[in-house]
Amino acid sequence: MMKFITDGMCGGLARWLRLIGYDTLYFNIQRKIELIRIAEKEKRIILTKDKKFAEKYPEIVFYIEGEDTYSQFKEVVKKFDLEIKEENLFKRCSICNTKLEEITKEKVKNRVPEYVYQNKEKFALCSKCNKIYWEGDHCKYIRERLRNL
């Protein structure tokens, strides 16, 4: 699976790529050379809104035309022919990119709202953010948008 880095103006794009399972780092730093170093070391592709940056390192930096998150996401999916598979959805923390771990229902009691505890069976944990995820309404919305890609 391809791995990415998004920079400054593509934070929302990073979240979408994580949602479909792609390992994506996000950095909002000025020193572009740092990004290049990380990308080379970890074999990542850099996605940017900075045209000059992309022109300077054409092998690993790609300019993204889209202005809003969703069109940027569409653009990247097409360009790199990314796979959107059910088994890869919602497997990474959309905030920090960490792989989620399954967590038993008993363990989330008192850590999620009561109605969620009553109505949901499957939960996942980001061990870095300590955030608990479950299949909620926003997942439905995301699936719909993915179908319409």
Considering beta carbons, is residue 21 or 49 the nearer one to Zn ion?
A: 21
Minimum distance from residue 71 beta carbon to Zn ion (Å)? 26
- Return the amino acid letter for 99: K
Q: Residue 145, CB half-sphere, CA atoms under 13 Å: how many?
A: 16
Q: Residue 67 CB, nearest distance to Zn ion (Å)?
A: 27
Strand partners, 99: 92
The distance of Cα 99 from the centroid of its chain, to the nearest Å, equals: 11
Residue 14 or 64 with smaller CB distance to Zn ion: 14
Q: Name the residues that contact Zn ion, by CB under 5 A.
A: 93, 95-96, 98, 126, 128-129
- CB nearer to Zn ion: give 10 or 100: 100
> CB 100 → Zn ion: shortest distance, Å?
8
For every residue of 84-130, which 3-state class applies, written as one string?
A: CCHHHCCCECCCCCCECEEECHHHHCCCCCHHHHHHCCCEEEECCCC
Q: Which is nearer to Zn ion, 78 or 128 (CB)?
A: 128
Q: How far apart are CA 27 and CA 97, in angstroms?
A: 12
Residue nearest to Zn ion (CB): 93
Q: In the complex, what is the shortest distance from the CB of residue 82 to Zn ion, in angstroms, rounded to a whole number?
A: 21
Amino acid residing at 98: T
